[in-house]
Chains A and B, each alone.
Chain A
């Protein structure tokens, strides 16, 4: 069981480009959560997904950010037209059900230059 896999580990994008962050949950986990950790700040919830459904996206910025968790393949967090303020560590976590705790991935560190 490989755990929660996130890739890439580090991603550098120029302002205005798109960033795609991938998260493969643990085997048997159908619930995925994305969190963002800005420099010197705590983790903040972004979105909660189950297979093919967005359950709660109350923490997602209204523009430029989107997330999906297709029937096949990893969950994708997509940031369009990145700006410097998007530079952060993005963590994905998965669980077998909402009532359980979850396992975190190692994160993707996005740097916008």
Chain B
């Protein structure tokens, strides 16, 4: 079973700040997912990556396979970015993703 840890658990930022959320895992993986969940809402897939770096708008995700670590960065944060960000990993031959407990982000205007 893959242990997925996220840090920080809670994060408050001023609008415009650069934000970093970290994810580390214990067992080698084939893919890592970053998800966004709004309060009371559904889940949106932001990125799936297995190596390197991906960018979409103000969001950047990186992964270091050797260090078993991934980061999600948000540039020029905005109050609408306020949500829970969840990291999920999939092992090579497994069928399921293992989820971190999430990082709750609040961006203050």
Contacts and interface: CB of A to CB of B under 8 A. Distances in A.
B is a partner of A: yes
A66 interface: no
Interface residues of B, number: 19
B45 A43 contact: no
Given A41-B101, A42-B86, A42-B101, A105 B96 contact: no
A85 interface: no
A42 B96 contact: no
Contacts of A48: 95-96
A101 B31 contact: yes
A56 interface: yes
Interface residues of A, number: 22
A83 to B, nearest CB: 23
Contact of A55 (B31, B43, B48, B95): B95
A35 B86 CA distance: 14
B99 interface: yes
A59 B35 CA distance: 21
A80 interface: no
Given A101-B33, A101-B48, A104-B35, A43 B42 contact: no
Interface of B: 31, 33, 35, 41-45, 48, 86, 88, 95-102
